[in-house]
Amino acid sequence: MKKILLFILALSTLTASAQSNRKWKQLFNGKNLKGWTVKIRGHELNDNYNNTFRVEDGKLVVSYDHYTDFNEQFGHIFYKKPYSYYLLAVEYRFVGQQVHDGPGWAYKNSGIMLHCQEPSTMGKDQDFPISIEDQLLGGDSTGERTTCNLCTPGTNVEIDGKLFTPHCVNSTSKTFRNEEWVRAEVLVLGDSVIKHIVNGDTVLVYEKPQIGGGAVSNYDPAVKKDGQLLSSGYIALQSESHPVEFRKVEIIDLSKRYRKKRR
């Protein structure tokens, strides 16, 4: 336990150092979706079906006002380039009502997909990219529901030095209700460590992201190389049937720092 606590303390110091010494780069410009690629299940790459992803009042918005039924049309919007070592932050909130026939588990549910496969390699009917998900959840008027959990579509990780194969695990965050804005940060260090942070508090840490497991369908088997460590990949945001808004998507690229350390 002492070793784990020291490890988390070292990561916290690294995160604080990254925030103070480097400038945030805005991945979302607040004006349009330039630099982003859309892939929605059942549709071709860059078919932004029913204008699901759009910009409104300076926010990147996931909307279903043109939908009659959700029909399992899970969607993702990918930033144009892959990253390996970085600190990413999004500020999000859930709004409105879930679209008709959206799954119960997808109520106030979205996610930041990390180390994603390239969007052009996804099958037309593939539901989720092979990736590591920092799961974003909102609470109801009662009960508890953590955010920045871990889910693993087509992947596995290690927790406390052991291979973790269940699809999801909860973080230690508090519950965020109504339409409250939340700042979710994630520190990604290649194929070693990933750390979830909510409003400045570390809520989950795990290691060695790798391809494996299930919870993804209609993928190209050539892409799903089970056991392969994920050292880099694309970043994506989800559309899972509940409207959500992102007012900020920003990153600090740490790759140069880590290339120097490895020499």
Distances (CA, A) of 8 to 12, 32, 263: 6, 37, 25
- Which residues of the chain are under the pLDDT cut of 70? 1-21, 259-263
Report, in angstroms and rounded to the nearest whole number, the Rg of the chain calculated over CA atoms.
Answer: 17
Q: Write down the pLDDT at residue 5.
A: 42
Q: Write down the pLDDT at residue 1.
A: 41
What is the DSSP secondary-structure string of 19-65?
Answer: HHHSPPEESS-SS--TTEEEEETTS-TT--GGG-EEEETTEEEE--T
User: CA-to-CA distance for 54 and 31, rounded, in angstroms?
Assistant: 10
Q: Write down the pLDDT at residue 256.
A: 85
User: CA-to-CA distance for 149 and 111, rounded, in angstroms?
Assistant: 9
N-to-C CA span, the chain: 31
User: CA-to-CA distance for 199 and 261, rounded, in angstroms?
Assistant: 29
Q: Write down the pLDDT at residue 16.
A: 54
Query: Hey, what CATH topology would domain 2-262 get?
Result: Jelly Rolls (2.60.120)
Condensed to tens digits (0 to 9), the pLDDT of residues 32-45 reads: 999 999 999 999 99
Q: Are 137 and 165 in contact (CB under 8 A)?
A: no
Listed by start position, the domains of the chain span: 2-262
